[in-house]
């Protein structure tokens, strides 16, 4: 009987700690986030050559899934706009494709709360600012 109480107590503590500090990321998601940051850093080298304004979410913590969906949609737009741009080297096009793929892998089918804005309700920002916000959001997801 004492053993069952001890085990139950340990499980309860583990559940409370997970609730208090959040569940740890799986190693696969951690690697995906690390890869995303590296690809975003590659884009830093051309941020002033891209003259687009993209919707940039501001409710990142409250609406994580909606924010991911918005960034994914805007990266798809970025990819379409830069595919035929001769100033942008293949390395950057590959980085954009990788970012799209990795954002897709992070998005879930979770229902988004009704209090979350649709992507088009966010302000448009110039690409350097968009890139900065996306990088900050990915870093937030790592915590």
pLDDT digit string (tens) for 80-117?
988 887 777 888 989 999 999 999 999 865 555 567 88
Instruction: Provide the pLDDT for residue 22.
Output: 46
Instruction: Provide the pLDDT for residue 110.
Output: 53
In a domain, 2, yes or no: no
Instruction: Lowest mean pLDDT of 46-50, 53-57, 58-62, name the range.
Output: 58-62
Q: How far apart are alpha carbons 37 and 42 in whole angstroms?
A: 9
Domain containing residue 47: CATH number: 1.20.1250.70
Q: What is the pTM of this model?
A: 0.76
In a domain, 19, yes or no: no
Enclosing domain of residue 57: 26-142
In a domain, 88, yes or no: yes
Instruction: Provide the pLDDT for residue 33.
Output: 95
In a domain, 122, yes or no: yes
pLDDT of 12-46, one tens digit each?
444 444 444 444 558 888 999 999 999 999 999 98
Residue 79 has pLDDT above 50, yes or no: yes
Q: Residue 27, class by beta-carbon neighbours within 10 Å (0-12 exposed, 13-18 middle, 19+ buried)?
A: exposed
Instruction: Provide the pLDDT for residue 5.
Output: 47
Decide: helix, strand or coil at residue 62.
coil
Domain count, the chain: 1
Instruction: Provide the pLDDT for residue 49.
Output: 87
Decide: helix, strand or coil at residue 13.
helix
In a domain, 6, yes or no: no
Q: pLDDT grade, residue 59 (50/70/90)?
A: confident
In a domain, 67, yes or no: yes
Span 109-134, average pLDDT: 84
In a domain, 17, yes or no: no
Q: How far apart are alpha carbons 62 and 67 in whole angstroms?
A: 9
């Amino acid at each position: 009987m004492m053993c069952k109480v001890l085990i139950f107590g340990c499980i309860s503590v583990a559940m409370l700690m997970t609730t208090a500090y959040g569940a740890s990321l799986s190693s696969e998601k951690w690697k995906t986030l690390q890869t995303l940051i590296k690809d975003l850093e590659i884009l830093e080298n051309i941020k002033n050559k891209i003259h687009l304004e993209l919707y940039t979410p501001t409710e990142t913590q409250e609406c994580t899934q909606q924010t991911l969906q918005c960034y994914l949609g805007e990266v798809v737009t970025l990819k379409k706009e830069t595919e035929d741009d001769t100033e942008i080297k293949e390395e950057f096009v590959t980085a954009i494709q990788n970012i799209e793929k990795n954002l897709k892998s992070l998005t879930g089918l979770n229902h988004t709360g009704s209090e979350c804005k649709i992507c088009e309700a966010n302000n448009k920002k110039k690409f350097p600012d968009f890139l900065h916000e996306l990088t900050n959001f990915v870093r937030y997801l790592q915590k």
